[in-house]
Amino acid sequence: MKKIAIVYNPESGKHNNHRFIKYVSKIMDKYHYNDMYCPTQRKGDAIEIIKNLPDDLDIVLVAGGDGTLNEAINGNCLRKNRLTLAYIPFGTVNDVGRMYGYTKNYIVDLKTLLERGVSKKIDVCHINKKAFIYVACTGNYVNTAYDTPRRLKQKYGKMGYVMYALKQITKEIKTYDLTYRVNKKEVTGKYSFIFVTNTSRIAGFNGIYTDVKLDDKMFEVVLCKSTDKKEILKILYLLKTRNLEDIKEIEYYKTNNIEIEFNEEIPSWCIDGEKYEQKDKKFLFTVDDNTKMIMPKKNIDKLFEEK
């Protein structure tokens, strides 16, 4: 029999923990998998669980939100021999799951994965030594992703984030004095937002980038200097009608290496929806392609260069 470990977050989304195990166990029996279940109990658990799993597993199934997947990726990067991962989205927004082509029904998704899933090598980005799967951002309002109270997310779903964000908009927009080095150039200035991403979907919005590939060993970088709220709203509108490189209010790069150094205050980063703080003023972004992920066929042609 094939071997699978299911690493799942019982606190993610609104799913019933016992029902999940019951249904998944039946599916694993049907597809002849010897299954073991590894629930997380606190932040950082998925890192330790996956780092210490045996090498002979055929698949590690990660069930949770984007933060749980981030921990799984980080745990896998700490291994000498990386395991093949698969992902079932359980969170509130599930940007990565929707990008991959999953539905909102985890039973359907799991059957699709086991019957017709495709194994692909995917790019994993790194900020210093921490891995991330789809977004690292800093600046104004990004704390909404990790500061929105759990009660709002459980009661209102995605709208819980919106409700909390509306309170943040009243605050004054700050800028951060920094120097960045990318593509053999160095730029110094004050910026209100920075996004380093490897995704076609952020915070529930699709189509922000038109040319994202998950196997090109590249990521996208956006820096914005604007401090005027009306201008920021204008930029958000333009994102739906223009390519990023055509919007004069932002600086855009596609690269595999960028160093960002803060000259004064160091802001917190939001990494795949979770808070990330570091005292170091320099943040080096790189990418590797040593991780395998099994995913639905649905969006393969759009997301990968190699068919």
Q: What is the mean pLDDT of the chain?
A: 84
Percent of the chain with pLDDT over 90: 48
Per-residue pLDDT tens for 225-271? Answer: 877 767 767 766 666 666 767 777 889 999 999 999 999 888 889 89
Do the bridges between strand 118-127 and strand 130-132 make them parallel or antiparallel, or are there none, so unpaired?
Answer: antiparallel
Q: What is the DSSP string of 232-283?
A: HHHHHHHTTTS-GGG-TTEEEEEES-EEEEESS--PPEEETTEEE--S-SEE
Could you give all domains of the chain from N- to C-terminal order, each with its CATH number? Answer: 2-124+290-302 (3.40.50.10330), 131-288 (2.60.200.40)
Structural element, H or E, at residue 195: strand 193-197
Q: Between vectors from CA 298 to CA 61 and to CA 272, what angle results, nearest 5°? A: 50
Angstrom distances, CA of residue 306 to CA of 16, 63, 255, 301: 38, 27, 19, 8
Range with lowest mean pLDDT among 84-98, 125-139, 171-185: 84-98
pTM of the entire structure?
Answer: 0.86
Q: With 0-12 CB in 10 A as exposed, 13-18 as middle and 19+ as buried, what is 265?
A: exposed
The predicted pLDDT at position 161 comes to: 47
| Residue 194 neighbours by CB distance under 10 Å | 23
Residue, of 148 and 258, whose pLDDT is higher: 258
Query: What does the alpha-carbon distance between residue 62 and residue 120 come to, in Å, rounded to a whole number?
Result: 16
Question: What band does 164 get if pLDDT is binned at 50, 70 and 90?
Answer: very low
Q: What is the CA radius of gyration of the chain?
A: 19
The predicted pLDDT at position 119 comes to: 95
DSSP at 89? E
